[in-house]
Structure 1
Amino acid sequence: MLALMKACHPGPTLVVTATGCALAAMVGRGPGGTLLVGAAVLTGQLSIGWSNDWIDRVRDRATRRSDKPLAGGSFAPRVVAVAAFAALALCVPLSLASGVLAGAVHLVAVACGWLYNVRLKASPVSPLPFAVAFGLLPAFVTLGLPGGPWPAWWALAAGALLGMGAHFANVLPDIADDVALGVRGLPHRLGPTTARLGAAVLLVAASVLIALAPGDRGGVVSVAGLVAVALVLAGGLVGARRSVRRAAFGVTLGVAVIDVTMFVAQGGSLV
């Protein structure tokens, strides 16, 4: 069971699920609606994480990924495949429980994750599924409200930027191994230095957009949030000397937490 949970990419899964719950609570979905959003997002992320490890199992064995249970033969690949499709099956009714349009939007986001795993990971448009999936998360939350309002344009844009920044950051530790095995997404084609710069630019751009878009525009909270983002990025550069993988995830997690906190503290509205 522990190996199976490790194969679902628990860090990103929990971060995205917590972000969805925070947004749902913030817009007034209530305890029940927030729980429903969390369950839908969680099952969707579990399906994406498990399918990723299942599809990449041969490449992970070739590169001896010690952090991937299937690469070490901890259990049969069939177990992960069954878990991925079971989570996907659960995700459909849980998503549609927020409404047909909201559910469809979330299922498109989940489909983007699967499409990345199956096909787009090795293509020049590898950031596209991240942009669409993360950009649609605020829409899934707000479309479940009475009247089904779409979120503000900047919320969609900020989510897309944050998603692409996460993609650039998360591939950094594996660029050399990926290229050797023929996986050449956009960050791989740009090279490690440019990919590192791209991750920073995208994450900062998302933070600036969130800082300036809601209510008070540029107040003390915005300034403090942007300073915190800069410190997290600087800490990531230092931490990368010890572990690029941990630093990349830490930066993405830190910026995501700061962005959500900054938005909530500003009293901004998604709609």
Structure 2
Amino acid sequence: MSTSPALLLVRAAHPRQAVATAAVLAAAAAVSGRPLREVVLVAGTVLVGQSILGWADDLTDRPRDQRHRPDKPLAGDALDPGTVWFALTCAVLLVVPLSVAHGRLAGISYLTLLAVSAIGDRFLHARVLSFVPWMVSFALYPAFLAYGGWNGVGTDSPPTVALTVLAAALGLGVHVLTALPGLVHDHEEGERSFPLVLALRTGTPRLLVGASVFTGVATVAILIAGRTVGLS
């Protein structure tokens, strides 16, 4: 029994990461005191944005996935790349007005975040500087929330330096943790990403423990900073 193209598109969008990111950002918006309609707008914007990044990632990695991950929708003939390109284009046309609806500065922050993530994944994924787009994009999330508003009217309150730095640190930890399952294939492909370089020096088990602790500490520090210094 064949899977419908719609379900295959959802799978190619990295749905777990998309939903988790949208839920975390929406929760952060709610905790910061944003009204429900703005919380929903945050969740919708981030969900569309993360889907764009998921599709772009699978399109970029298609040749590699055909060698190592034939179960992925784009790796075989189950999902046509043209279908994904069409969905991605539609999502880009949707995410721009969604981002602008948060206000000018918030919209610029989020669209910059998406651009940095997509370009970084395309050009730095296999290099030792692979952590840079992750840290930069995560550092922009507080700006997206702090400047955010409704109906194109945002605020002029910048995010606190503490939360921006901690968010960047969280991005580093998340990058390492999400890269760990594919390090063997990365090594076979001759790549030298930042997590792979660390794993070759420390060993994967130690890197897993260290990255988990680092990410956990960064998460707790963000929660503490959010309660003390606040978002903006």
TM-score bracket for the superposition, by shorter chain length = 0.7 to 0.9
Q: Which residue of 2 aligns with 1:33?
A: 38
**TM-score (normalised: structure 2):** 0.86
Equivalent of 2:22, from 14, 17, 22?
Answer: 17
Out of 46, 50, 54, the position equivalent to 1:49 is 54
CA distance in 1, matches of 2:218, 2:69: 34
Query: Are 2:221 and 1:209 equivalent residues in the alignment?
Result: yes
The CA deviation at 1:177 is 0.7
Q: Is the 8 A contact 2:45 2:95 kept in 1?
A: yes
**What is the root-mean-square deviation of aligned Cα atoms in Å?**
1.9
CA distance in 1, matches of 2:79, 2:222: 43
Is the contact between residue 164 and residue 202 of structure 1 (CA under 8 Å) also seen in structure 2?
no
CA distance in 2, matches of 1:42, 1:29: 18
The correspondence of residues 69-108 of structure 1 with structure 2, limited to 5 A, is 69-108=73-112
Contact 2:99 / 2:107 at 8 angstroms: preserved in 1? yes
Secondary structure, counterpart of 2:129 in structure 1? coil
What's the CA shift for 1:64? 3.2
Equivalent residues of 1:188, 1:195 under 8 A apart: no
Structure 2 CA distance for aligned equivalents of residues 132 and 180 of structure 1: 28
How far off is 1:149 after superposition? 1.0
Identity within the alignment, %: 36
Deviation at 1:181, TM superposition (A): 1.5
Q: Which residue of 2 aligns with 1:188?
A: 196
Question: In structure 1, how many angstroms separate the alpha carbons of the residues matched to 2:139 and 2:95?
Answer: 19
Consecutive unaligned residues in structure 2, runs of 5 or more? 1-5
* Runs of 4+ with deviation above 6 angstroms: none
What is the distance in 2 between the residues matched to 1:104 and 1:212? 27
What is the number of equivalent residue pairs in this alignment? 219
Q: Given that residues 167 and 222 in structure 2 are in contact (C-alpha distance below 8 angstroms), is that contact kept between their aligned partners in structure 1? A: no
| Gap change, CA 1:8 and 1:26, over 3 Å in 2 | same
Matched, 1:269 2:230: yes
Shift in Å at residue 204 of structure 1? 3.0
Aligned match of 1:144 in 142, 148, 152? 148
Q: Does the aligned pair in 2 maintain the 1:92–1:107 contact within 8 Å?
A: yes
Cα displacement (A) at 1:81: 1.8
